[in-house]
Amino acid sequence: MPVPRRSLQGEWPGLASFVLALAGACIGLGAIWRFPALVGEYGGGAFLLAYTVCLLLLALPLLLAEMVVGRAGRQNAISSHGDLALLHGHSPHWAWVGRLTLLTGLLLLLLLMVFGGWSLGYTFRAVTGALGQLDAIDAAALFRGLQGDMERSLLWVTVFITTVVALVSQGVARGLLPGMLALVLLLFTGLAILTWAVPPMAGGDRFAAVLEADFSRLSREAWLTALQHAFYTLAVATGVIVTFSAYLPERISVVQAGLLVLVLDLAAAALASVVVLNLLEYAGLPLVSGPALVFQVLPVALGQWFGGSVAASLFYLVLSLAALSSGVALMEAGTVALAERHGMGRGQASILIGLSLWFLALLVVLGQAQAWSLPGTLSLLDLLSALIARLLLPLGALGLLVYAGWLLAQETVRLSLGLPTGWGFHLWYGLLRWCAPVLLVVVILVNLGLIG
């Protein structure tokens, strides 16, 4: 079956719009609530260097592999994988790679609805001055109160998913493009202002946390952690990159775009680290990560900062923007698949997905409010996070590497990348076929506790 030469959804107007939109999809909550703790624990600039190496060896091959499939297939993630496999003389059942990545992306969107809803709730509290000057006990009680209040949590979940659906339903030119550009530009503007304004560390250099390198702390564990975070930091194996790349004009260099996305992802993570680590030292608070950092520890630190209400408002706005930009991208991938494969309009498809996820989010929110626990004391939220991180994302990524590196013809890959036959292409192709799969297996073994 021939694949279309141009996506039915439209095209990105240029390199900058594609890079910014894809960066918005990739810069998620982990860049703000996990990466700073890793930088602080594993030697500052030394960890940043190790992380950059892991991005180039694992994340970049995965990113470019998905961009190859999207540009060559010009359709949604399922159809692109199935039709390209058929054209190369293989079973169309390889569409399972697209199905798996889309399922993973939609489950990740379900998680983002909850975390993004909490972020919006904290933004509202910061703007209205309700955060105030909290101590650790008050901050923990505030977060437990939000989790336990099902009506309030569901309200913010509804605001989050309604915003996402509203943007995606308008199409690429009228909704996705202006929405993603606005979200990403506001995100970087907010991070830049926070970085400029944050109280510096004791030495007076606010950038010391990421520029000073302590290589004695760059242990084997640090390298494995950097490899893990490099894998999870981008929107790989969620259907987003394949979908966004289907809108790429022929004139745009895939390799250049991929490298620029990595630079923006690294820049956002570094700026977030500067803000968080300086704040924690300023307030004399412990280094933690995850929801506990942003919803329990940082409210205390922000309250101690001069002009804390303004700073808190900006910080939680940035957190909300990171969740929303990722959520819009994930919704786009699912909406396009449903619309193209079942003949639906964008509005109908996005609303159907949004409503389905809202009812699932209702169960998750109810589980948080009622403190439901599964065997092993896991909540529904914890179980969903573990399922995505430890099983679905690695399995989908492994399928993508096999598909792009071994199933597609080398010439198809080269032409989609827009690279001439030469050492540059063969270097990347070697990373795709050999290096990235080995490193991904290492990530899987670390997840299983077999390497540590």
The 3-state DSSP class for residue 204 equals coil
CA distances from 436 to 64, 96, 230, 404 (A): 12, 21, 12, 12
- Tell me the C-alpha distance between 330 and 317, whole Å: 20
If phi > 0 it is left, if psi is from -120 to 50 it is alpha, else beta; for residue 219 that is beta
Q: Report DSSP letters for 111-135, one per residue.
A: HHHHHHHHHHHHHHHHHTT-S-S--
Could you tell me what percentage of the chain is helix, strand and coil, using 3-state DSSP and rounding each to the nearest 5? 75, 0, 20
**What burial letters (b/e) apply to 272-309, b meaning 16+ CB within 10 Å?**
bbbbbbbbbbbbebebbbebebbbbbbbbbbbbbeebb
The pTM (predicted TM-score) of the whole model is 0.96
- Tell me the C-alpha distance between 330 and 105, whole Å: 6
- Tell me the C-alpha distance between 260 and 203, whole Å: 32
Rounded (5°) CA angle 175-73-78: 75
- Tell me the C-alpha distance between 383 and 153, whole Å: 19
- Tell me the C-alpha distance between 400 and 245, whole Å: 15
Are 226 and 54 contacting, i.e. CB atoms less than 8 angstroms apart?
yes
Closest CA to 413 of 211, 244, 255: 255
How many CA within 13 A on the CB side of residue 243? Answer: 35
- Tell me the C-alpha distance between 397 and 381, whole Å: 22
* pLDDT (0 to 100) of residue 376: 63
Q: What are phi and psi of 3, to 5 degrees?
A: -95, 150
* pLDDT (0 to 100) of residue 205: 85
Would you give the distance in Å from CA 412 to the centre of its chain? 28
Q: Report DSSP letters for 385-414, one per residue.
A: HHHIIIIIHHHHHHHHHHIIIIIS-HHHHH
For residue 200, give the DSSP letter: P
For residue 93, give the DSSP letter: G
Q: Enter the tokens of residue 368.
A: 């948080």
The 3-state DSSP class for residue 53 equals helix
How many CA within 13 A on the CB side of residue 96? Answer: 9
pLDDT in tens, the chain (452 residues): 566 778 989 999 999 999 999 999 999 999 999 999 999 999 999 999 999 999 999 999 999 999 999 999 999 999 999 999 999 999 999 999 999 999 999 999 999 999 999 999 999 999 998 888 889 999 999 999 999 999 999 999 999 999 999 999 999 999 999 999 999 999 999 999 999 999 887 677 889 989 999 999 999 999 999 999 999 999 999 999 999 999 999 999 999 999 999 999 999 999 999 999 999 999 999 999 999 999 999 999 998 887 778 999 999 999 999 999 999 999 999 999 999 999 999 999 999 999 999 999 999 999 988 878 776 667 889 999 999 999 999 999 999 999 999 999 999 999 999 898 889 899 999 999 999 999 999 999 999 999 97
Positive or negative: CA dihedral 38, 274, 125, 138:
positive
Are 373 and 49 contacting, i.e. CB atoms less than 8 angstroms apart?
no
Residue with tokens 């590196």: 405
- The CA-based dihedral angle spanning residues 321, 324, 329, 332, taken in that order and rounded to the nearest 10 degrees: -140
Per-domain residue ranges of the chain: 15-447
Note the CATH architecture for domain 15-447: Orthogonal Bundle (1.10)
Axis crossing angle, helix 346-369 with helix 95-127, rounded to the nearest 10? 60
Burial-class residue 3 by CB neighbours within 10 Å (0-12, 13-18, 19+): middle
Are 299 and 134 contacting, i.e. CB atoms less than 8 angstroms apart?
yes
- Tell me the C-alpha distance between 146 and 114, whole Å: 11
* pLDDT (0 to 100) of residue 2: 60
- Tell me the C-alpha distance between 70 and 330, whole Å: 15
